[in-house]
Every structure is written in C-alpha cells, then in structure tokens.
Amino acid sequence: MSESLLHPVVETSYLTVQNASRYRLIMRHFYRQHQRSRYWLRKEEVFEAVVATGFFPDYTIEQCEQDLEALRKWENLVAIHDGSNATSVEEYLRKRFRYEITQYSVEIERMLENLEKAKGYSGVLDPKRFDEIEWVLRELMGQGEWGPGTALELWERLVESFDRLVENGVDYLHHLQSARAEELMSTVQFLIYKDKLTEYLQKFVVQGLQRSGRRVQALLVKLDQSHVDKWIHAVARDYAEIPRLDEPLTMEDRLARVQDKWSAIVQWFLGSGYGEADIDLMEKEAKNTITRVVRYVARIQEKQRSGVSRRRELDYLGRWFLSLDSVEEAHKLAACVFGLYRTRHYQGADEKGSDNPDLSMWQVAPSIRVLSSRGRRRRESSGQPIISRKAEAAKADEVYLAKRAEEEQIVQSLVGRGRLIMSQLEYLPAPAMDYLLDWIGQCQSNESRHAHTPEGVLVKLFDPPASDSRRKSSSERGAKAKVRIS
C-alpha cells in the first residue's frame, strides 16, 4: 500500500463533469489514433472528428480549443508548441499546439472499451493450468543456479498460469450463479446441455482440483524456503535489467512485489491462519454447482411427469389384477409392480390370536389401528361437542357475589362506627381485623396520614395521647396482635 491510493484520480474527471459527452468523444478519438500509431493531433483534426459524428452540429473551433485545454489541465493530454507550418514570426508566436494522449489515459480508455464489450461473465475451467503450475514448481525444485533471464521466464509462466486459473475459474462459476443462468436452468431446453455441463464440472473437480491441485499443494509444502528466496532475488534482478524510461523501482520494491505475489499463490493453495485455502473453496463451489444442476434437472423432469396422464396404464393394470385366479398370484403381481411398501412402525402388541409362530400374516386376523391424517388441510368429519360451563360459571358468580356482600358488610360496620380507638377494641372478626390493619398500613405509608380505600372510604390516622398505653386486640383466628399508634 502506498500513499498514492489516498489521492483522487484527476485523470478520470472528464468522465463525470458537465460536458462529459464531448470530452469522451475527444478522448476516444485520441485513443483510436494512438492505436494507429498517430500520436500527435492538431485541434483542427479533433474538431473535424467531433463534427463528423453528428452528435454536436453546433460545435465550434473555439469550444474544441477550450475542451482540449481542459483535458490538458486534467493531465489527459500533453501539448507541445506547433510551429512547423508558420510562414511568419507572428504566426509562429501564436498559440498553436499539437496534443498527445497520456499513457494513463490510454489505460482508462482501454478499460472503458473492455467494459463496453463485456456482456455478463466469461471464463473457462481449465485443469491444464494446474499441470503448468506443477511443472513450474518441479523446475524450481531442480534448478540450482539462475542464469540471466531464466528466473524471470519461469516466474512469468507461473504468474500467467495462476492468474488465468483463478480469474477464469471464478468468472465461470459466477456465471453459473447469475440470475440469467438460473433462469436458463429452469427451462426444458436445459436438459440437452445438462450432461455436458455436469461432465465439464466433474472433470475440473476430479482432474484439476483433486488430483493436480493436491500435487501442487504437496510440492509447495516440500519447497525449501531458502531456495525460494534465492529464486525471488533472481527474479527481482532480472526485472532490474529491463530498461525503463519512467522512474525506476528500488531493489526493495521489486523484491516486495515478487514476494507478495508468491505469498498470494501459496495462500491460495495452502490457506492461511484466517481461513481455509481458496482451492478448497473453489472445489466446494464447483460441487455445489453440480448439485444445483442436478436439482434443476430433477425439478424439470418432475414437472414433465406430473403432466402425463397415467389413466391408461392404471386401467390396464386393474384389468390384469382382475384376470388373476388366486390371491397368491395377485400378491406376486403387486410385489413386481409396486415393490415393497414403505415400512411404518406402530406401538403396542400385535394380537395374532394364535401362538403358532409358523402362521403367515395372511392367515391371521388383521390388527386394526386407527391412523390420523397428516395432511394440513384435513378436516374432521364430526366436530367435538362443546361442553357447557354455564352451571359452573353461575355457581362461581354466586360465591363471588356472596363474598363481596360479606366484605361490604364488614366495611359498612367499620365505617358505621365513625371513629375507632385501638385501645377500646375488644374483639374483631378475622376479615374485619384484616381490613383495619390494611387501612392503618396505608395511612402510615402516607405522609399526610390519610388514605383512600378501593371502597371509597377516607381513613385518617391520629396519634394517641402520650399517656395512652398498649393494648392487645384479639381476633377469631386465635392470634393476638400488638397494635401501637405512635
């Protein structure tokens, strides 16, 4: 990772600005001419090319000059002074330029052209790529010294085989998982290609992933790390021997790039501490694709069978059973036609009615078991009767009303006294004592010493005089409660 990743890409500005349509036409014209080895163009040539498209009939030479200047500022074009056709000093000093597309912009236009041609996924499953990688690793193990260019040649062959294996394999498997592929697999026409597709996937899984892939894994495990480091240094040295006009990389940068790529190859085959190897994931994905293809085929065939009438076959079979002379022959015919019935196990003892173990199941009385339907839409032929609970409900209402009347009578008896002095109470029934203690508790929990009961009674609690003494009040429960108002 470098700091350049944090900077905006100014060269792509012409793709999203207001006049992007004009800029894209100009850049595509420069790109076409660059492919024809015409690198330097004048503004008059660019103007004629834009007008010739017919998209901008009102386009002027001044607008063309402004567009070229904007593209130059975005570093999509480079300009040099053009004085080749000048006939005077004044004409030479005028701003006449020739423009060339930059290499960065060439790559942008090439990417856009590839995106325009791309239609869905492509790719292939080529098990021979595993064989090529295996060959490179065996050459690496048998190589002692690296001559000029030999290490780089072996490295480029390894990287090319690995990149094609991964990119093409992933693209092809993703293509089979796309919505378009799912739609095609649901059609009857897919039955024509299902055998070839299944065989193609199985060949890649068996020959490539399971055989050659496992051999590559074994070779990577056996490789001596010191031998690999020596090869990587030789590759970086061969890269340094290639003359380049741009800013050359340091030896450390070349070594880091080669080592990162080698680590990616090793992790793809052997995995890392963060998860299983990518080769195992690709194998699972390929097997899941085969399973999905088989499932789609079975679904299509089931639809075809469900639309075929079996009436004639069943009528013929029924006449055949009718023509038989004995039950034994009917049993044999049923065994041939229908096969074994699905076994079901029932709980309970089998009542044969005889202790003879040699009796056949056809010679004893049948054991009758009542089975309930497992269908979701099944409805009972006769519903369960609704049991009336009116008598129980009326009795419960009577008990409740009697209890409420008794409680009301107790409340009225306490309220009728108007004022209750605990020291003067001799005997109270248990329900009355409960009410009284509850009211006292509610008043004590309130700062104002007042309380409103659910029955609508306002209760006030007053402190007794200091000379008042404690008193015991009993109830019909037989317990004595000490009550003190303080």
Average pLDDT over residues 10-32: 91
**Domains of the chain, start order:** 3-117 (1.10.10), 128-303 (no CATH), 310-344 (no CATH), 416-483 (no CATH)
Q: What is the DSSP letter of 275?
A: B
Both tokens of 110, joined, read 């090439």
- Taking CB atoms within 8 Å and a gap of at least 24, the contacts of 468-473 are 468/423, 469/423, 471/422, 471/423, 471/425, 473/422, 473/425, 473/426, 473/427, 473/428, 473/433
**Going along 257-371, which residue ranges are E strands?**
none
Inform me whether the pLDDT recorded for 324 exceeds 90.
Answer: yes
Average pLDDT over residues 13-26: 91
Mutual orientation of helices 213-222 and 251-270 as an angle, nearest 10°? 130
Q: What is the pLDDT of residue 118?
A: 65
Shortest CA distance to 231 belongs to which of 130, 136, 133, 135? 136
Both tokens of 268, joined, read 């793809």
Mean predicted lDDT score pLDDT of the chain: 81
Q: What is the DSSP letter of 478?
A: S
Q: What is the DSSP letter of 22?
A: H
Q: What is the pLDDT of residue 477?
A: 41
Q: Where is pLDDT greater, at 245 or 42? A: 42
Confirm if 244 and 103 have CB atoms less than 8 A apart: no
Q: What is the pLDDT of residue 121?
A: 55
Q: How confident is the model at residue 308 (pLDDT cuts 50, 70, 90)?
A: low
pLDDT per residue as tens digits for the range 111-160? 998 888 765 556 788 888 999 999 989 988 887 778 788 888 989 999 99
Q: What is the pLDDT of residue 87?
A: 53
Decide: residue 30, CB within 10 A, 0-12 exposed, 13-18 middle, 19+ buried: buried
pTM of the model as a whole: 0.49
pLDDT per residue as tens digits for the range 200-251? 888 888 888 889 899 999 999 988 888 888 888 888 888 888 777 665 677 8
**Going along 126-259, which residue ranges are E strands?**
none
Q: Where is pLDDT greater, at 344 or 38? A: 38
Q: Where is pLDDT greater, at 256 or 187? A: 256
Which residues, 6 or more positions from 22, have their beta carbon under 8 angstroms from its beta carbon? 50, 56, 59, 63, 67
Which of left, alpha, beta for 348 (phi over 0: left; psi -120 to 50: alpha)? Answer: left
Q: Using CA atoms, how far apart are residues 216 and 226, in angstroms rounded to an integer?
A: 19
Q: Using CA atoms, how far apart are residues 97 and 80, in angstroms rounded to an integer?
A: 5
Average pLDDT over residues 453-464: 79
Percent of the chain with pLDDT over 70: 85
Across 8-12, 345-349, 359-363, which has the greatest mean pLDDT?
8-12
Q: Where is pLDDT greater, at 413 or 105? A: 105
Q: What is the DSSP letter of 377?
A: T
pLDDT per residue as tens digits for the range 152-161? 898 999 999 9
Q: Strand, helix or coil at 248?
A: coil
Q: Where is pLDDT greater, at 24 or 381? A: 24
C-alpha 193: how far from its chain's center?
A: 29
In the block, which residue shows the tokens 């080895």? 37
Inform me whether the pLDDT recorded for 440 exceeds 80.
Answer: yes
Helices (H), 4-88: 20-35, 43-53, 61-73
Concatenate the DSSP letters of all residues of 89-156 into one string.
HHHHHS--EEEEE-HHHHHHHHHHHHHHH--S------THHHHHHHHHHHHHHH--S--TTHHHHHHH
Q: How many other C-beta atoms can be found within 10 angstroms of the C-beta atom of residue 64? A: 22
Both tokens of 386, joined, read 């609704």
pLDDT per residue as tens digits for the range 99-116? 999 999 999 999 998 888
Q: How confident is the model at residue 95 (pLDDT cuts 50, 70, 90)?
A: low
Average pLDDT over residues 26-33: 92
